[in-house]
Structure 1
């Protein structure tokens, strides 16, 4: 009876979608939910055969090196419900989330799928933005003094050197990246864009890792970004480059392959620094994979905190005995850092 009722309702929605845009978005939401739950059941992306080649073997034989900056997103609505304490407030948070999800059924929006920043996450991102705005002003003044050298943060903020900005194709990462570098991105003369790179999409089963920007070249929906930034509007075409968004991750995706894809992309950039907005599990797996086996860096076991910023050097080389090898060294916590 329930299945028949659901099929009847879906059939009615399909018919309505032929003439009504809201119904069409509802059909897409149903498809998104089915696909996201299929990934929840079938995904095995965090399991792969680990390489036995110690990244340390690259040592002095690297042919390319880039500095990479990871920016983890702020707290999401999914985190708000499921990652806080499972106490007496959990049922209230869960019911509130379900009600919010139902209210977004006919919109290209969701509470659980591709979960956006929560109110706490927005506050965290705004604090990050304020921090780097202050840093930018301070460093710009210092750069005028004789003997000032600067560091990776100067390059990150666009004060010197070459850098590119990338982000996962999930909303919380895109919005956090925009917040972090708004002092740079809001400068019309700089003409900087955030490159949406689907290789950075989080590697986990949960439906919050499903991208609403699920088709090749899709812009990430950022309906709340302008309000968060305190501006009248955000021009997607000017702020984002979605050419590297290959769309939704496949059911048979392996995290190893997405990390290697991103690492290869980093090495192909004509830049001193590559900035990447992304996710805790993806970042932790990247450190586990490319740090030397004997490294005691906390990044192997600990997540970067919400809105945390960490930099490191990524090297690449082709070794006759092992083929292509990537290695991480010089890990530095810039803001927030790793969980304690």
Structure 2
């Protein structure tokens, strides 16, 4: 626990950690898509614009197989930096934490067994509504069913996501729900002006303060689905929302439909909690009495440029990386230094010539 930095209700965070030390963990990986990510400059989650839609299924396949089937290589940025799934896979395998994939609106289906919700991907919020109110309602209902089922199988349900462009839709939802949000980005030079332009345009279409209508106008299908999962799962299990900005939006929406705060934490990386271009820790504090557990995976000390890049502002978080690393450390007692040694072996396996 010495490796963790705690924010918000620190006693709650310590109690959460103590309660799950000897328990069972399950990682649920939710893949989704918003056409907002196709706006040039919004995201680096793919080698180019055409390949972005393959990032969520590629992440899922890599976690499952150690390689991808829908694409030739694991998801990368245009300049060759790897998906944070490298961190997640290493964390889960080092602690023998099982995982499963849930499709909540991915444009491309992964080639592996997954739970299919039948949800559609979100539309580009710059030009049109993301979804209909009924689609949001279905997403919440399906999330509640899945969350209730998975919670019955574990003591701590970790929920991660992969949705390119998701920080932009998250920003729109947070602002529409009344929170003064500044969000992180997958690149060091956060395209704040572009995101604000998209969000401001989207917010002009909002004509109701009903949370379902807000998410339908400016969100994506991942947000109501994961909020539904949290709502039911937190009734009977501990839940760790593994992520940054997107999970803040999930928390904001979940606060409108109800969930158990006492069983909930956010797990993320220090690259999110120490991001000066965002206000993550203060934002979460305003949304709910839910603590943040943050981990510095010591990637700045890596011998590999691709791993050091995470500490330099690329990706920062994603695929539930922070929460997965935290959970693996709680279960195994490993330190950040030990995690770095393991993840470097995986990186070498992937990229050694």
Q: Please say which structure displays the higher CA radius of gyration.
A: 1
Q: Under a length normalisation based on structure 2, what TM-score does the superposition of the two structures give? A: 0.30
Q: Under a length normalisation based on structure 1, what TM-score does the superposition of the two structures give? A: 0.31
Higher share of residues assigned helix: 2
